[in-house]
Amino acid sequence: MDVATLFSMLGILVSLALLIILIMRGVNIYVVALMCSIIVALTGGIDLYEGLKVNYMTGFVNFFKNYFLIFLTGTIMGKAYEVTNGAKAIARMIINRFGPNMALISIPLACGIISYGGVSVFVASFAVFPIALEVFKQADIPRKFIPGALTFGCSTWAMVAPGAPQIQNAVPAAALGTDLMAGAVNGFISSAVILLIGSFILIKYANNAKKRGEGFVAKPMDVFRDDAAYPSGGLAMLPLIITILAINIKVGGKTLIPLEFGVFLGSVTVILLLNKYQDNTKIMFNLGEACKQSVVSISNTCAVVGFGAVVQASKAFPVVIDAMMNIPGPPYLGIAIGTTVIAGICGSASGGLGIAAPLLGPSYLALGIPAAAIHRVMSISSAALDSLPHNGYIVTVTNGLCNETHKDAYGLVFWLTVVTPFIGSVVAVILFTLFPYLP
């Protein structure tokens, strides 16, 4: 490695450390992404103007162009479920069905089912949080474990499972020409492993806390009474079922309804079926709010993807990719490690996939590896290092929604959203190595 490449590698490492530190301290993501992009450009042999005007903005705009409609329709569905109390109704139904003995596990299950149906992870977390407060209080489980339960349900097994209308499924599908059910058998098994191991960890944490004499301690902002009208949980589930079926049913080997249209169809179904539980005079206002939220949400991801695009143009990046492509062992191991590392650098599963899928995907396709297998391994492995402390979703749920500190809550979050998806990735690598051509 020559001096220029070594200097570029140093710049990438410094910018990554700065990215994590500043975001954890609450500095605006756009400011951080641009600062870190400047460091990478100056150390990576990239003309500064070209790095920002061409590399950064090309990465930013391309991701926005390719995936805005997915973010938009998902946010509209989430808003519809929010204003009709549909998401809360589903969560209450699931929790009541499982009963008090399984109350702890019912929280991530409720989050996961809502997310798997196409509702954004933010909306699912905000909808289930008030119910989680009640469940944790009744079971006398430490409040600091709520962020772990919510993030485990929303951002691991359900987010990356085959058929899910989430961006983590859509990005590799677009890059590889696959469908949302790619690698279904091995994918569902790997997702089930994540769910089972994470559930065991969650129960273990709760039991250990009880042995230490720890219990639920409410915070001043906690509200436990909810007099709102709720629809039937079964009725509220119908739009999710319709969405999943619409985007995954094939005729003649082809999916008839595109992802964006399928999710929008689900959103319209929510508005029609749960109409009596919303204020119809505010429909246009709510749509406008959903549009604004979707722009903010995707732009945050675009800012990180733009940074990744500058990293991609640096002198050291080909060395990094070459190292990933030549990792000893099965090629699926290289796919998993490459995707995980890039998602960790970006602090975002969707942002990391936005870089890794079009970059690594074709290289592994050229080696004769099935596109469906690449898709699923990438999707699952994107869910590990993306959940480091600087991840925007982790920060929002832990600090903003639950009013907990990283010091108190992140230990469990780490085990549930970093370690368990990593184990799921290992399982996926083994399964696809042994059975690469399963449906």
pLDDT score of 281 more than 80 = yes
Mean pLDDT of 275-293: 89
Question: Beta partners for 251?
Answer: 254
pLDDT mean over 368-381: 96
Distance CA 94, CA 109 (A): 8
Most confident of 12-16, 334-338, 372-376: 372-376
Please compute the mean of the pLDDT values over residues 184-211 and round it to a whole number: 95
Q: According to the model, what pLDDT value does residue 142 have?
A: 94
pLDDT of 358 > 90? The answer is: no
pLDDT on residue 351: 77
User: Considering the chain, what is the average pLDDT of its residues?
Assistant: 89
Gap between the Cα atoms of 266 and 117, Å rounded: 9
The tens digit of pLDDT for each residue in 215-241 reads: 999 888 887 766 677 899 999 999 999
The share of the chain scoring above pLDDT 70, in percent, equals: 98
Determine what percent of the chain is predicted with pLDDT higher than 90: 49
Angle 146-155/184-211 helices, nearest 10 degrees?
A: 180
pLDDT of 251 higher than 80: no
143-157, 184-198, 218-232: which range is least confident on average?
218-232
Structure tokens at 428: 């996926």
**Six-digit token string for 315:** 């002198």
* In the predicted structure, residue 324 carries a pLDDT above the cut 80: no
Q: What is the mean pLDDT of residues 290-319?
A: 87
Say how many C-beta atoms besides its own lie within 10 A of residue 305's C-beta: 29
Buried b (16+ CB within 10 A) or exposed e, 225-261: eeeeebbebeebbbbbebbbebbbeeeeeebebebbe
Q: What is the pLDDT of residues 17-40, one digit of tens each?
A: 888 788 767 788 889 889 999 999
Closest CA relative to residue 375, chosen from 177, 224, 202: 177
Please give the average per-residue pLDDT across 256-268, as a whole number: 90
Secondary structure class of 329 (helix, strand, coil): coil
Mean pLDDT of 128-137: 87
More confident residue, 297 or 111: 111
What pLDDT does 96 receive?
A: 84
Q: Is the distance from CB of 88 to CB of 125 less than 8 angstroms?
A: no
How is residue 274 written in tokens?
């749960």
Nearest to 90 by CA among 126, 128, 135, 137: 128
Residue 344's nearest CA partner among 43, 112, 28, 23 is: 23
The answer on pLDDT for 100 being more than 70 is no
Mean pLDDT of 333-355: 84
Instruction: Give the tens place of pLDDT for each residue, 382-399.
Output: 998 888 876 778 888 888
Residue 82 banded pLDDT, cuts 50, 70, 90: confident
Determine the average pLDDT of the residues in 258-262.
90
pLDDT score, position 225: 63
pLDDT value at 67 more than 90: no
